[in-house]
Chains A and B, each alone.
Chain A
Amino acid sequence: MKKIGKGSWEQFWLTYKNKPGSLAVLICVILAAAITVGVLFSLIIYILVNGVVHLKPELFAWEYNTSNMSMMPAIISTVYITALSLLMAVPVGIFSAIYLVEYAKRGSKLVKVIRTTTETLQGIPSIVYGLFGYILFVITLGWSYSMLAGSVTLAIMILPLIIRTTEEALISVPDSYREGSFGLGAGKLRTVFKIILPCAVPGILAGVILAIGRIVGESAALIFTSGTVAQVPGSLFDSARTLSVHMYALLSEGLYTNEAYATAVVLLVLVILINAFSGFIAKKLATR
């Protein structure tokens, strides 16, 4: 007697012919996944198809002026602001995670408070960060619209992300490593820096890359902190616009759609690269 395969259409028909409800649900499920992927691909393809033609070499000129909306200064500012924010958030985030995982007593009151606050920070919308940065750094501390004000604001914004990913990375280091190191007479500090942190580097790195993605994509938190000046900043206290802010500025002026397309392409490619890299590291982690 011939068997019908588990995945065959015949079997499918036999299973669903009396169950129209289930069949409808199945179709909805597949449709939902198709819509999700479809939206993503149509967005990417739309931006790339319409944008690539506008990627002119002069858009990468050093100087931004009224006749040439070069995005080069914005690219450089993006790099500066990313580097500055990471410089502040990464050490604080890692140290904070080390305290939570290696030093704090489980379930202590302080740990609970820290957890609640990091979760709160994670939920605050970027526009609120922007206004906070504006009030505290720009106005109260008198830094005016500046790279520094923008970077500190972003550093606070990405802090919970760094803390969480580092925590996860530290927790996944087996306890036997700690015991092994203590067994050799190493102190806690030495164990943390020589044994545990090196093991956790890939996990931390994946978090840092995600944070870079958030910084590159951020606009609402920067407009009122680092401002929108489209020149290469000369000092920490100069205003600077990142690529995302550059794109917003182009769009809100309403005259520079083509340049906005080109900027969108650059942003999109950056984000895709960042995501791919973070995915690559995560995969490395999983196969380890």
Chain B
Amino acid sequence: MDKYTIENLELFYGDFKALKNINMKIQEKEITAFIGPSGCGKSTLLKTLNRMNDLVEGCKITGTVKLDDQDIYGKIDVNLLRKRVGMVFQKPNPFPMSIYDNIAYGPRTHGIHSKAKLNEIVEKSLRDVAIWDEVKDRLNKSALGMSGGQQQRLCIARALAVEPEVILMDEPTSALDPISTSKIEELAMDLKDRYTIIIVTHNMQQAARISDKTAFFLLGEMVEFDKTETLFSVPKDKRTEDYITGRFG
């Protein structure tokens, strides 16, 4: 099943064309990786998928982005879209409140206030990201006291707590140490049974390790999009080959 269908997508920051004629279909319950040198548009494309680009002044979009056949730039409630499409940021960004309140923030936003229900959600989300045992005794402590890796997993748990269908990850491990990174990678692979995951990474090995499909971007263009194995072993485009063999980037 196609989760996202992107057709003729172009994106402008003022006069600058940041994305050029993107066409792609993103599969459900798979990990899709976006790779490419910095400034290639991979993060920009990610942010069009939950309309975080709306925050950028002077940002214009043409073409269509469909989530399950619904045009997300059409007549929709953006808040509901973002509930369906969770996001994990480059730098872990837990709110300055307790671990519990961080997880409960999303459900509360969407109208869940029953204490029992919230407890259940908090526990389940933290178990999903495998830090329940580490933090269960200090749920009321500030989330800012956790380590970077724990914070990032908390942020993933926070995203899971609103029961999204898709999780967007914007270079989620670039601020983390190698051990935390591998934990996040394992987590992503565990989660793909239940969620569609799209991950932007500057780390080609990471894309090769965890993703099912990979898209390579260069200067706002999608150069190649294929099964990860294929893209890394027999790239069709010369530019992809140059990039994955490390000739630039």
Most buried by A among B61, B71, B79: B79
Q: How distant is B12 from chain A, measured CB to nearest CB, in Å? A: 13
**Is B44 an interface residue, CB under 8 A from the partner?**
no
**Is A175 an interface residue, CB under 8 A from the partner?**
no
Residues on A with C-beta less than 8 A from B62 are: 3
**Is A4 an interface residue, CB under 8 A from the partner?**
yes
- Indicate if the CB atoms of A1 and B54 lie closer than 8 Å: no
Residues on A with C-beta less than 8 A from B73 are: 3-4
- Indicate if the CB atoms of A1 and B74 lie closer than 8 Å: yes
Cβ contacts B118-135/A at 8 Å (1 or 0 each): 000000000000000000
**Closest B residue by C-beta to A10:** B75
- Indicate if the CB atoms of B79 and A19 lie closer than 8 Å: yes
The contact of A15 among B61, B74, B77, by CB within 8 Å, is B77
**Is B76 an interface residue, CB under 8 A from the partner?**
yes
- Indicate if the CB atoms of B75 and A18 lie closer than 8 Å: no
Bound form: Cα–Cα A10–B71 in Å: 15
* A interface residue count range (under 10 / 10 to 19 / 20 to 34 / 35 or more): 10 to 19
Most buried by B among A6, A14, A15, A17: A6
The contact of B54 among A6, A14, A18, A19, by CB within 8 Å, is A6
Bound form: Cα–Cα A17–B80 in Å: 12
13 extra interchain contacts, Cβ-Cβ under 8 A, other than A6-B54, A10-B75?
Answer: A1-B64, A1-B74, A3-B62, A3-B73, A3-B74, A4-B74, A11-B78, A14-B75, A14-B76, A15-B77, A15-B79, A18-B77, A19-B79
Residues on A with C-beta less than 8 A from B75 are: 4, 10, 14
**Closest B residue by C-beta to A14:** B77
Bound form: Cα–Cα A1–B66 in Å: 12
Bound form: Cα–Cα A6–B55 in Å: 10
Residues on B with C-beta less than 8 A from A1 are: 64, 71, 74
In the complex, the 8 A-B pairs of residues with the closest C-beta atoms, listed nearest first: A14-B77, A6-B54, A3-B73, A15-B78, A14-B75, A15-B77, A1-B71, A1-B64
The contact of B61 among A3, A11, A14, A17, by CB within 8 Å, is A3
Residues on A with C-beta less than 8 A from B54 are: 6
Bound form: Cα–Cα A4–B78 in Å: 12
Q: How distant is B84 from chain A, measured CB to nearest CB, in Å? A: 15
**Closest A residue by C-beta to B53:** A6
Residues on B with C-beta less than 8 A from A3 are: 61-62, 73-74
Bound form: Cα–Cα A19–B74 in Å: 19
Mark A residues whose CB is within 8 Å of B. Answer: 1, 3-4, 6, 10-11, 14-15, 17-19
Cβ contacts B74-111/A at 8 Å (1 or 0 each): 11111100000000000000000000000000000000
**Closest A residue by C-beta to B59:** A6
> Interface size of B by Cβ–Cβ distance < 8 Å?
12
Residues on B with C-beta less than 8 A from A15 are: 77-79
Bound form: Cα–Cα A19–B76 in Å: 14
Q: How distant is A8 from chain B, measured CB to nearest CB, in Å? A: 10
**Closest A residue by C-beta to B79:** A15
Bound form: Cα–Cα A139–B61 in Å: 75
Bound form: Cα–Cα A1–B76 in Å: 14
Residues on B with C-beta less than 8 A from A11 are: 78
Can you name 15 A-B residue pairings with CB atoms under 8 Å? Answer: A1-B71, A1-B74, A3-B61, A4-B73, A4-B74, A6-B54, A10-B75, A11-B78, A14-B75, A14-B78, A15-B77, A15-B78, A15-B79, A18-B77, A19-B79
Q: How distant is A11 from chain B, measured CB to nearest CB, in Å? A: 8
Q: How distant is B138 from chain A, measured CB to nearest CB, in Å? A: 31
**Closest A residue by C-beta to B78:** A15
Residues on A with C-beta less than 8 A from B76 are: 14
Residues on A with C-beta less than 8 A from B61 are: 3
Residues on B with C-beta less than 8 A from A14 are: 75-78
Most buried by B among A3, A15, A17: A3
Q: How distant is B63 from chain A, measured CB to nearest CB, in Å? A: 9
**Closest A residue by C-beta to B80:** A18
Bound form: Cα–Cα A3–B73 in Å: 7
Residues on A with C-beta less than 8 A from B71 are: 1
**Closest A residue by C-beta to B73:** A3
Residues on B with C-beta less than 8 A from A10 are: 75
Q: How distant is A67 from chain B, measured CB to nearest CB, in Å? A: 62
Residues on B with C-beta less than 8 A from A17 are: 77
Bound form: Cα–Cα A15–B80 in Å: 9
Bound form: Cα–Cα A197–B54 in Å: 45
Q: How distant is A14 from chain B, measured CB to nearest CB, in Å? A: 5
Bound form: Cα–Cα A73–B150 in Å: 71
Bound form: Cα–Cα A192–B74 in Å: 62
**Closest B residue by C-beta to A7:** B54
Q: How distant is B71 from chain A, measured CB to nearest CB, in Å? A: 6
Bound form: Cα–Cα A237–B46 in Å: 74
Q: How distant is A267 from chain B, measured CB to nearest CB, in Å? A: 40
Bound form: Cα–Cα A3–B54 in Å: 13
Bound form: Cα–Cα A10–B76 in Å: 10
